[in-house]
Amino acid sequence: MKIGYPCVNETLDCSAATTFRLASYTDERVVTTVTNNLACLQRILEFNVQHGLLFFRIGSGIVPFGSHAVNTFPWQTEFAPQFRAIGDYIKAEQMRISFHPDQFVVLNSPDPGIVERSIAELVYQGSMLDLMGLDSTAKLQIHVGGLYGDRDVAIERFIATYRTLPEAVQVRLVIENDDRLFSLRDCLRVHEAVGIPILFDNFHHECLNHDEPMQEALRLAAGTWHPTHDGVLMMDYSSQQLGERKGKHTSSLVEERFREFVTHLNGLDVDMMLEIKDKEASALRAVAILRELGLAAPLPLSASV
């Protein structure tokens, strides 16, 4: 089991998400920004290895305007060596990597322009995985999209669009059950049509479900991942912040809830992304708990905790 956290490291004094405004776009700023972001990404990955965190979600903004028409700079070739070096490090340390394109990526939109921009963003993020030399067990995770008043039509439109995607995107794309619109059961319908794996979010499942017990939901989601092509089930873990709106993530790991959740795994191997506000701090607590339970590998000898 690999444990991770998304995008941002709060311990280090660098950011892999520096950017700038569209209005101030220049090729030179792309160069300086990507250089800075990749250098910071490498530092974050090294921090993670030293602390036994072998799953990481890379932020969408490594290359500013990476899928926008304004950016015609050939960053794919100019930064090929840097991407390759990071990919080599990831493979050497056997880390798992994901991207989570944000809410603007909507493959089932009825607006062709939105679909076109969404595909461009997936191609951009997938091409970073290609440049790193990572295989199809590194994933791009998105939601099914909008309802537009008709669930069946919305799902059919997702399926139709999925079939038109470039293969490099198809082999890496996974869908995540969300907390308001498309449940695990809806995602399973999409999976049955096109074979896409389902990234399981335990908290979303608590918010929106059809009475599938957690252990059963995990089993269903895990069954959508091909062991060699896709790797073990990726999941997002979070829990409800008490006293807040339903769906609000906790600010830090609630240890008792986490221990309870782990019992539902019942031996299932997963790679777990902790979607918790305090990032690596909670991820480290999770690793400690799993280690105590014998479910996570001990720290490497080189680790400095």
Partner DNA sequence: TCGAGTCAAGGCTAT
Partner DNA sequence: ATAGCCTTGACTCGA
Per CB under 7 A, 151 contacts DNA: no
Cα 65 to Cα 59: distance, rounded to the nearest angstrom: 13
Beta pairing partners, 237: 274
Among 48, 82, 98, 109, binds DNA (CB under 7 A): 109
Decide whether 86 or 208 has the Cβ nearer to DNA. 208
Phi, psi of 143 (to 5 degrees): -95, 165
Beta strands in 137-232 (DSSP E): 139-142, 173-176, 198-201
Per CB under 7 A, 247 contacts DNA: yes
Specify the stretch interacting with DNA by CB under 7 A; choose among 142-150, 167-175, 224-232, 291-299: 142-150
Q: Provide the CA 277 distance to its chain's centre, in angstroms.
A: 15
The count of chain residues that interact with DNA, using the rule CB under 7 A, is 40
Among 97, 121, 162, 200, binds DNA (CB under 7 A): 121
Per CB under 7 A, 252 contacts DNA: no
Question: Which region, left, alpha or beta, applies to residue 234 given φ > 0 means left and ψ of -120 to 50 means alpha?
Answer: beta
Specify the stretch interacting with DNA by CB under 7 A; choose among 42-50, 73-81, 217-225, 247-255: 247-255
Per CB under 7 A, 236 contacts DNA: no
Among 2, 51, 96, 117, binds DNA (CB under 7 A): 117
- Can you tell me whether residue 243 is helix, strand or coil? coil
Q: Provide the CA 72 distance to its chain's centre, in angstroms.
A: 26
DSSP for 101-122, please give it.
--TT--TT-S-HHHHHHHHHHH
Beta pairing partners, 200: 235
For residues 163 to 192, the per-residue mask of contacts with DNA, x marking binding by CB under 7 A and - elsewhere, is ----------------xxx-----------
Residues 6+ apart with CB under 8 A from 178: 143, 144, 201, 204, 208
Decide whether 91 or 257 has the Cβ nearer to DNA. 257
Footprint on this chain of DNA (rule: CB under 7 A):
8, 15, 17-24, 60-61, 65-68, 102-106, 109-111, 114, 117, 121, 145-148, 179-181, 245, 247-249, 275, 277
